[in-house]
Every structure is written in structure tokens, then in C-alpha cells.
Amino acid sequence: MGNITENGQRRLRDNPNLVVESVQDCDCEGAEILTQYAVLGRYDFVMLADARDNDAVARLSLEMSHRIGMHVETLPAIALNTLSDLDGDSTDTDLVTAEAPEGEWRLPESDPE
């Protein structure tokens, strides 16, 4: 998640495609930005990245901060099925996963037993 700095605002005025171009030109080994969104609220942008480890995503964050002029807050995410694997007592039925329907997000309905 990121907020544009004053310097970044000046850069964006000069080049409205700065964010898109910066992401396309970024070559950070071990990490890549999968998608990006401009958002309203506390942050200006949200970017979803895939990285092999925290070091790689830290390099990607620094690179984006420098290229765009942005304060970046990085939040590592852990897949829910990975969390269930950490608990030795859990079984595959303890966690319900589902693909998100296109265009709409909903929690999967539980099976009444």
C-alpha cells in the first residue's frame, strides 16, 4: 500500500502514466507486482506482489518508492491453507477454500450437517 509524496505528485503531474510505467520497467529479482489499484481513503495505491521471500519484496518496495516517489507500507500475507498446515491437529476439512466468483467476493456457504 502506498501514499504519493509531494515529489511523487509533481512526477505524476508531469507523467500521468508514471505508476504503470514504473511497474512495467521494474526488474526486481525474486519479486513482481501482479496487479495495482488506485484507491480512495487512507492510501493512494494498493499493489499485489508475489515474492520468493521478505528480502525480495523489501527490494521491490524500495524500488517502487524510489521510482514513483511513494511511501510504501508492505504487509506480508500468508495463505489460509498455509496456516492450517502449521497446526498439526487440523485436517483438510477444517478449512473451506473456494475460488472467488468473477466480479463479486463472497464467503463460501458452509455445508449444513
Task: Break the chain into its structural domains and give their ranges.
Answer: 2-72
pTM for the full predicted model: 0.65
pLDDT of 27-46, one tens digit each? 889 999 999 999 999 999 99
pLDDT of residue 83: 66
In tens, the pLDDT along 64-90 reads 999 999 999 998 887 777 666 666 555
Q: What is the pLDDT of residue 100?
A: 52
| pLDDT confidence tier of residue 97, bands split at 50, 70 and 90 | low
Residues 2-72, CATH architecture: 2-Layer Sandwich (3.30)
Cα separation of 4 and 12, whole Å?
9
DSSP 43-56: -SEEEEEEESSHHH
CA distance 53 to 112: 39
Backbone conformation region of residue 48, classed left if phi is above 0, alpha if psi is from -120 to 50, else beta? beta
Residue entry with cell 525480495: 56
Element of type H or E holding 1: none
Instruction: Give the helix ranges, DSSP H, for 1-113.
Output: 6-14, 18-25, 54-64, 80-86
User: What pLDDT is stored for residue 25 in this prediction?
Assistant: 87
